[in-house]
Amino acid sequence: MQSRTRAFRRHHMKRFKAKRGRYNNAAYSWPEGTTIVNIGKVYHTPCPCSCWICGHQRTHHGMNIQEMRARARHQD
């Protein structure tokens, strides 16, 4: 495993910004379009909202099948 050097973190930041710059909320949420500032905002907060589609699954839909089975196995 690579050590967590500054160059390693910069590499991942560049990689994620390139990927998340193509997200819909990187350009369409702001009237001026995709800018460096907007890509930075999407890099830090990729989830555009907390609705039932974008938000945390367990909050809106409950436990998934794997969690239900694990909990059922450990019931008395």
pLDDT in tens, 10-53: 999 999 988 887 777 666 555 666 677 878 888 888 777 778 77
Q: What is the 3-state secondary structure (H, E, C) of the chain?
A: CCCCCHHHHHHHHHHHHHHHCCCHHHHCCCCCCCCHHHHHHHHHCCCCCCCCCCCCHHHHHCCCHHHHHHHHHCCC
pLDDT at residue 65, rounded to an integer: 93
Can you say how many angstroms the Cα of residue 12 is from the centroid of all Cα atoms in its chain?
Answer: 14
> Which pTM was predicted?
0.55
